[in-house]
Structure 1
Amino acid sequence: MPKINGNEIRPGNVLEHNGGLWAAVKVDHVKPGKGGAFAQVEMKNLRNGTKLNERFRSADKVERVRLEQKDQQFLYEENGKLVFMDTETYEQIELPADLLGERRPFLQDGMTITVEFHESEALHAALPQKVTCRIVETEPVVKGQTAANSFKPAILDNGVKVMVPPFVGPDEEIVVNTETMEYSERA
């Protein structure tokens, strides 16, 4: 694995530090009036989610880890595990359902997601940025109501509650941004 200097750390880098895998969330380069410059790095543990603030001087060497990204197709859920198939080798893997966190309801049958691996361990899974969902329940369309900054609650077919514009009615398909979990557009 390549070693980089402490001042070369950028947000999004994955580092091996203190025996764990850490993602750099925020990096501030500090030049104090006295002493040498350093990088103040806020890191998040990829295995358990704990956070850590660490200072790295430019002379410090850190292991930078490259994660392998693979597209996986969702097959089914069984006993709290999500079963995926590698789209190239057709190998099946099981991942814990909590790997997706609060975005889990947006996972649909046959959907292809990107899973990041370190050696053979799955560390992170990313859904497509936009997913189409159907509205199950919302207030009726009110004629003459303008769409300027007024939103109403709606419940989607996956049980998630989102705010939608007043012109969107029940049984309509909408596109939801899975990163912000907000209404994006009509489908």
Structure 2
Amino acid sequence: MKINGNEIRPGNVIEHQSTIWVAVKVNAVKPGKGGAFAQVELKNLLDGRKLNERFRASETVERVRLEQKDFTFLYEEGDNLVFMDTVSYEQLELNKDFVGERAAFLQDGMPVVVELYEEKPIGIDLPDQVTLEVTETEPTIKGQTQSSSYKPAMLENGVRCMVPPFVTTGEKIVVDTNEIEYVKRAD
């Protein structure tokens, strides 16, 4: 779908210079002399390069729609993570580096959404929160209030997270997978 250069918004995925980019920042500029334009900071979705580009209102760009498919995490095999398409049951292997440090939060049977461009995976969305058990943390000191500073804790997946002083070893907590931080005690 073609859109005018001044209609680009942050988060839009566009085709430019024969590859795909996501608009990170968009700044509308109206100079005193000449036509208005949009100064757009782009990030390449395939290799991570950044680019600042100027798009005039008269220019058109191709807005790309990414296909989003539901997958289920199956297992880890060496440096690869294996997912299954929930509709076709086809398996997809992605390198751990593709998922990044959030790969530690993957659990068997966890639903994820994979973004595809021309059948090639370019992004993955994990659930925003997961429940994990605290395997190691400092004991609570009597008289320490809930408003005091957080203490370090080791979670069952090997990730370190700061937790409130009242959380003890063996407790289950809800963790934000984006910020890697404590949210609340699990019910």
TM-score grouping bracket, smaller chain normalisation: over 0.9
Per the normalisation by structure 1, the TM-score is 0.95
Work out the number of aligned pairs and report it.
186
Cross-structure match for 2:174: 175
Where does structure 1 differ by over 3 angstroms across 4 or more consecutive aligned residues?
none
1:33-182 matches, within 5 Å, as 33-182=32-181
Q: Residue type matched to 2:48 in 1?
A: G
Q: Residue 132 and residue 36 in structure 1: after superposition, are their counterparts in 2 closer, same or farther (change >3 A)? A: same
Cross-structure match for 1:18: 17
- Provide the secondary structure at the position in 2 that maps to 1:100: helix
Shift of 1:44: 1.0
Q: Residue type matched to 1:120 in 2?
A: E
Unaligned stretches of 5+ residues in structure 1:
none
Q: Contact conserved, 2:36 with 2:57, CA < 8 A, in 1?
A: yes
Unaligned stretches of 5+ residues in structure 2:
none
Q: What whole-Å deviation, never above 9, does each CA across 1:89-126 have from its counterpart, x for those lacking one? A: 11111122212112111111111101001121000001
Shift of 1:149: 4.9
Deviates more, 1:153-162 or 1:143-152: 143-152
- Provide the secondary structure at the position in 1 that maps to 2:112: strand
Q: Contact conserved, 2:148 with 2:165, CA < 8 A, in 1?
A: no
- Provide the secondary structure at the position in 2 that maps to 1:103: helix
Deviates more, 1:88-97 or 1:171-180: 88-97
Q: Residue type matched to 1:184 in 2?
A: V
Shift of 1:144: 2.0
Deviates more, 1:105-114 or 1:28-37: 28-37
The separation in 2 between residues aligned to 1:34 and 1:182, in whole angstroms, is 49
Cross-structure match for 2:2: 3
Q: Cα RMSD between the aligned structures?
A: 1.1
The separation in 2 between residues aligned to 1:143 and 1:71, in whole angstroms, is 47
Per the normalisation by structure 2, the TM-score is 0.95
